[in-house]
Amino acid sequence: MGTPTADRVTQSLEALATRGERVTAARRAVIEVLDGTTDHLTADEIAVRAAQSAPGVHRTTVYRALTTLGELGIVSHTHVAGSATIYHLTTPGQDHPTADHAHVQCTSCNRIIDIDESALVPLERTLRKDIGFRVDVHHAAFLGTCADCLAATSD
């Protein structure tokens, strides 16, 4: 796990205060855990790490914090196939150059890969123009096969 970036943590906590929300130990711990990693963490993984950094913070409280932070736009989540939902802090930072990314998931090895959301702009435009459908590219991972698995099957 990386070191939390004070700027991202501070910005997120200030966003809570600006909205009149309390800055609780669980909310702070969740923000610090998400800021301190580039991994794709599930709620359970966040709860374990939060309890390590803030003893006394319970799993259920972490789940509630994730829900509230998600509703406030401070945390985003993505559904992945065959796995639990993964979470990200939405505030950009040094190790996280942009919160504006989407995910693809390899159906062979289950690896989750971050991609720039601009790669999906043509798909978004086509779906909107052709069938009037607006796709949320952040909400679920797109499924396919990664380059490593493709190479392994072509040997």
> Over the stretch 30-45, which tens digit does the pLDDT of each residue have?
999 999 998 889 999 9
Q: In 82-135, which residue ranges form alpha helices assigned H by DSSP?
A: 121-131
Fold of 1-91: Arc Repressor Mutant, subunit A (1.10.10)
Task: Report the pLDDT value the prediction gives residue 60, as an integer from 0 to 100.
Answer: 95
Give the start-to-end residue ranges of the domains of the chain: 1-91, 100-155
**Looking at the whole model, is its pTM more than 0.85?**
no
If you average pLDDT over every residue of the chain, what do you get?
Answer: 88
CA distance 48 to 58: 9
Whole-angstrom distance, CA of residue 72 vs CA of residue 21 = 9
- How far is it between the farthest Cα atoms of the chain? 58
Q: Report CA torsion sign: 139, 111, 83, 76.
A: negative
Q: Please check whether residue 151 is in contact with residue 145, taking contact to mean a CB–CB distance below 8 angstroms.
A: no
pLDDT, residue 7, reads 87
pLDDT at 5 over 80: no
pLDDT at residue 151, rounded to an integer: 92
Rounded to an integer, the average pLDDT of 7-22 is 91
User: For residue 76, how many C-alpha atoms fall within 13 Å in the half-sphere facing its CB?
Assistant: 18
Check: CB of residue 102 under 8 Å from CB of residue 115: yes
Quick check: 112 and 80 in contact, CB under 8 A?
yes
pLDDT tens figures, 62-112: 999 999 999 998 998 999 988 889 998 887 554 544 457 889 999 999 899
DSSP-derived letter for residue 104 is: E
User: Residue 15 corresponds to which tokens in the numbers above?
Assistant: 């966003």
pLDDT of 6 reads: 64
Q: What is the pLDDT of residues 117-139, one digit of tens each?
A: 899 999 999 999 999 999 888 88
Q: Which CATH superfamily is domain 100-155 in?
A: Ferric-uptake regulator, C-terminal dimerisarion domain (3.30.1490.190)
Tokens 């910005």, residue located: 11
